[in-house]
Structures are given as C-alpha cells and as structure tokens.
Amino acid sequence: MSGADDILLKVDNVSLSFGGVRAITDVSFDIRKGEIRAIIGPNGAGKTSMLNVINGFYHPQNGSISFHGQTRARMKPYEAASQGIARTFQNVALFKGMSTLDNILAGRALKMKSSFFWQMFRHGPALAEEIEHRKFCEEIIDFLEIEHIRKAPVGTLPYGLQKRVELGRALAMEPTLLLLDEPMAGMNLEEKQDMSRFIIDVNQHFGTTIALIEHDIGVVMDLSDRIVVLEYGHKIADGNPEEVKSDQKVIDAYLGVAH
C-alpha cells in the first residue's frame, strides 16, 4: 500500500483496561497524513477511549503509539497538544462565561512566547504577540463564519454554534492531527451539512489530518477516506467506506445477529 513516510500516527496492539473492564483490546491501525479517518462503532465500543489514548489522557497498559514516526513514552495531554494534536469533546467543553473570541484565543495559549512580566502590562513584545494571535483568530472566525458571535458569551449560544466555536479553538492550535469526538451530535440537518463542509475545508485548506468519531453513518461514509470499526474494544474492520459498508461483521455489529 503506502510507505511508512505518509503515516502520521500508528497505533500498535493497544490494550486499555479500567480495573477488570477491558475498554480496548489489542487494537492496531494507522492514520495517514492528510486523510480524514473515522472511528465508528456501537455505543461502548471504545471509540472515545481510543481518542483519549491518542491524545495522552489515558495510558494504555499494552501496546505503543507512534506519532511522526516516534514511539512515545507515557505522555501528558499538554505534551500531546504541544506536539500538534488538538481535539474537541463529545460534550462541548468551552469556557461558558467567556466570549467566542476569548475561547479561541485560549487555544493559542501554547503558542504564546512572551514572558509573564510583559503580559501583565500588555506592552512591548506581549502586545505585538497578542496582535498576531488576534489576527490568527480572526482568520478562524472568518473561516468558520462566526463573526456575528465574536463577542457573545459562548454559554448563551445554541449548541450547534458552540460546537463550531470548539472546533475553532482546536484550530487555533494549528494542529497537525485534529481529533473530533462526535462533532455532529445533536445537530439538525442543516448544521450537520455546515459542519461537514467545515471539516472538509479544514482538511483541504489547512491540510490538517483529521480523526473523527461520528454516529451519523451517512456523514461518515461521505466524509472519510478510511474507517476503522470497533466493537466491544476490538477492531472488527478497517478500510475505505465501500469495504466497511459491505463487511459482514460490521453489518452484524450494527444490526445484531441471530444466534
């Protein structure tokens, strides 16, 4: 198939358990540079756990993960973040009292270089830096078409828009790998279409590699280049949408099977 060069992230024989509960069992797959990779599966299949493993929130008992060809040791989420892995959450996790702009600016925190001293007085290098970051955030605001809520406290926004702001905050980190945990949960048809368009645009415009979890199979089939299917923590299928769609194990997992 393809050379090791264009593999961005590789998950090798990862197993994760919480006490006696095995969340993920011996799962391996890879994510290529520039692709949209979907992780699907019925409820409790271990999809979110997988994302948490990738961004360093959970530490698998077995197996290894390599990012950019480097197998990582135990790492913390902020280390993953500084390496270029950003994510959004299943249940929106924004600073509700802060404005859209401030939330997105918060995504730039890791990029701020000026010292605490200058930042305290908002002068010199800190001011120049803030202008740079604001500029970048304005690009994102323009990109996601959320100009009208720039100054609105996010807590007052409808759910669909909050999801978009969260995506904006993740984009502010200029990630190489973007993890989206159910970006379209609870959205109506129109919002889903908007969000799909944004995901494709992010992928093409910024060249960002995207791994997403999504329940709307129609959306997943349309968006993704390749899909990995989990069930009860096991990988049951992996391939392009066509292959996955016709895979008997996947059909059984979703529709149930007569025993």
- Exposure string over 81-111, b if 16+ CB within 10 A, otherwise e: bebbbbbbbeebebeeebbbbbbbbbbbeee
Region from 50-58, 142-150, 231-239, 244-252 binding other proteins, contact rule CB under 8 A: 142-150
Q: At its nearest, how many Å lie between other proteins and the CB of residue 139? A: 7
CA–CA separation, 229 and 118 (whole Å): 49
CA–CA separation, 192 and 26 (whole Å): 33
Region from 91-99, 140-148, 172-180, 240-248 binding other proteins, contact rule CB under 8 A: 140-148
Cα-based torsion angle of the residue sequence 3, 201, 183, 64 in order, rounded to the nearest 10 degrees: 20
Q: At its nearest, how many Å lie between other proteins and the CB of residue 82? A: 27
Counting residues that bind other proteins (by CB under 8 A) gives 19
Query: 48 or 196, CB closer to other proteins?
Result: 196
Identify the residue among 148, 155, 207, 242 touching other proteins (CB under 8 A).
Answer: 148
Residue 145 touching other proteins (CB under 8 A): yes
Identify the residue among 147, 222, 242, 252 touching other proteins (CB under 8 A).
Answer: 147
Q: How many CB atoms lie within 10 A of CB 60?
A: 22
Identify the residue among 14, 51, 126, 141 touching other proteins (CB under 8 A).
Answer: 141
Contacts of other proteins in 80-139 (CB under 8 A): 134-135, 138-139
Q: Quickly list DSSP for 82-127.
A: HTTEEEE-SS----TTSBHHHHHHHTTGGG--S-HHHHHHT-THHH
Beta bridge partners of 239: 227
Over the window 182 to 221, marking each residue x when it contacts other proteins by CB under 8 A and - when it does not, the resulting string is: -------xx--x---x---x--xx----------------
Question: DSSP class of residue 26?
Answer: E
- Name the site residues for other proteins (rule: CB under 8 A): 134-135, 138-139, 141-143, 145, 147-148, 150-151, 189-190, 193, 197, 201, 204-205
